[in-house]
Amino acid sequence: MPNLIAIAQDACINCRYTRMKCQACRSVCPVALDSSDELGMNCSDCGLCISVCPADAITSENYSANGFERLLCEPGTVRLACRRRQEDSEWPCLGFLSERLLLALAYSPEATGRPIIIDSAGCAACNASVFKHIDDIIGETNILLRALGKKTIAVLAPGEKNDFRPKAVSRRQFFSHLFGAAVTTVTEVMAPGLRGKSRLPRLVWFDQYAKPSIDSGVAVQQQVFKSLTISQACDGCGICAGICHRKALTVQIDGHVLQMSHDPLVCVDCGVCVEHCPHAAIKMCTVETLNKRMAHIAELPVCRDCGMHFQPVGGHSICMDCLLKAKLQVIW
Residue-wise pLDDT tens digits, 50-90: 999 999 999 888 898 888 998 998 888 999 999 999 988 98
Q: What average pLDDT does range 187-198 have in this prediction?
A: 44
Average pLDDT, the chain: 84
CA gap 56, 273 in Å, rounded: 18
Q: What is the mean pLDDT of residues 191-204?
A: 67
Average pLDDT over residues 147-166: 80
The fraction of the chain above a pLDDT of 70, given in percent, is 82
Q: What is the pLDDT of residue 313?
A: 74
Is 187 a residue whose pLDDT tops 60? no
Residue bearing the bigger pLDDT, 266 or 32: 266
User: Helix, strand or coil for residue 59?
Assistant: strand
Q: What is the reported pLDDT for 158?
A: 66
**What is the SS3 assignment for 96?**
coil
pLDDT at 199: 84
**What's the CA gap between 319 and 322, in Å, rounded?**
5
Q: Smallest Cα–Cα separation from 99: which of 261, 223, 285, 231? A: 223
Q: Which of 131, 305, 288, 138 is nearest to 225 (CA)?
A: 288
**First vs last Cα of the chain: how many Å apart?**
64
- Confidence (pLDDT) at 308: 84
Q: How far is CA 242 from the centre of its chain?
A: 19
pLDDT of residue 36: 57
Q: Span 155-173, mean pLDDT?
A: 61
Per the CB < 8 A criterion, the answer to whether 154 and 102 are in contact is: no
Q: Could you tell me whether strands 116-118 and 198-199 are parallel, antiparallel, or unpaired per DSSP bridges? A: unpaired
Region for residue 280 given its phi and psi (left: phi exceeds 0; alpha: psi -120 to 50; beta: otherwise)? left
Q: What mean pLDDT do residues 101-126 have?
A: 90
pLDDT category, 38, cuts 50, 70, 90? low
- Under 8 Å between Cβ of 33 and 48: no
Backbone angles phi, psi at 129, to 5 degrees: -65, -45
What confidence category does residue 282 fall into, taking pLDDT thresholds of 50, 70 and 90?
Answer: very high
Confidence class for position 3, pLDDT limits 50, 70, 90: low
Q: How far is CA 316 from the centre of its chain?
A: 35
Alpha-carbon torsion, ordered 326, 327, 329, 332, to 10 deg: 180
Does residue 288 have a pLDDT over 50? yes
Residues 258 and 311: beta-carbon distance below 8 Å: yes
In the chain, where does the domain assigned CATH 3.30.70.3270 lie? 226-300
Contact between 249 and 258 under an 8 Å Cβ cutoff? The reply is no
Q: Is the pLDDT of residue 277 over 50?
A: yes
How far does CA 131 lie from the centroid of its chain?
A: 20
For the 226-300 domain, the top CATH level (class) is: alpha beta
Q: How confident is the model at residue 92 (pLDDT cuts 50, 70, 90)?
A: very high
